Every structure is written in C-alpha cells, then in structure tokens.
C-alpha cells in the first residue's frame, strides 16, 4: 500500500476530504437525509426506512459517527442517532467557503 501525503495539505483540506468520503456513499447520504427530516431516529427505523441489513446500517452509522456528523444516545437497548449541529455547521461552512469562491457571470465560462 502506498504512503499517503496528507501532511502536504492543510488540516482543513484533510478534514474536508474525510467528510467528503463519508458523504460518498448513497446509503450514508440517505441516512443523513432521514436524520435531518426526523431530527432524531432509532437505529431500527433506518433498517425499515432504507431496506438495508442491520449490520450494513451499523457500519454506515459508524462511518458518520467517526467524522462526528452524527452522535447517538443510549436509551435502554436502543441507540438514538441525530445530527451533531456543531460538526454539521463546521462541514457546511468548509464546503460553502469553497463553493462561494466560484464567481462566474457567464454560465458558459470554462477553459
């Protein structure tokens, strides 16, 4: 396996790349959309909502939890997940900063 050169890039660039990787699977996008719509959820709801196996859902939840975009609370034998507003805003602001740098007055502008 090759050596990565993440030390060549800023902390923000590395953080954005990790967040983008977490968003790079449609199941994780669907989980985030469901959590945003529901504003909270129980893990079992996701299995019913998405039609994926519990183990698959758990793996995707772990990926999202690892970047801090969701967090969970234990309620008896269930874990309820929701969007972590602080981390959500950090990621949103990082990407908006890049998207807002593009200033084109002509939609056909390109090289």
pLDDT in tens, the chain (111 residues): 455 788 899 999 999 999 999 999 999 999 999 999 987 777 678 888 889 998 999 899 999 999 999 998 877 777 888 999 999 999 999 999 999 998 877 777 776
| Contact (Cβ atoms closer than 8 angstroms) between residue 34 and residue 44 | no
pLDDT at 2: 54
Burial category of 46 from C-beta neighbours within 10 Å (exposed 0-12, middle 13-18, buried 19 and up): buried
Q: Which of 50, 38, 48, 49 is nearest to 80 (CA)?
A: 38
Structure tokens belonging to residue 99: 């998207």
pTM above 0.75, yes or no: yes
User: Which residues, including other chains, have CB under 8 Å from residue 17's CB and lie 6 or more apart?
Assistant: 9
Quote the pLDDT of residue 79: 82
């Amino acid at each position: 396996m090759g050596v990565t050169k993440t030390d060549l890039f800023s902390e923000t660039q590395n953080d954005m790349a990790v967040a983008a990787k977490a968003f790079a699977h449609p199941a994780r996008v669907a989980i985030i959309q469901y959590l945003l719509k529901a504003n909270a959820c129980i893990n079992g709801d996701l299995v019913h909502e998405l039609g994926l196996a519990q183990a698959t859902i758990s793996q995707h939840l772990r990926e999202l939890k690892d970047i801090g975009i969701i967090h969970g609370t234990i309620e008896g034998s269930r874990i309820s997940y929701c969007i972590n507003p602080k981390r959500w805003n950090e990621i949103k602001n990082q990407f908006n900063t890049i998207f807002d740098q593009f200033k084109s007055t002509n939609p056909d502008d390109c090289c």
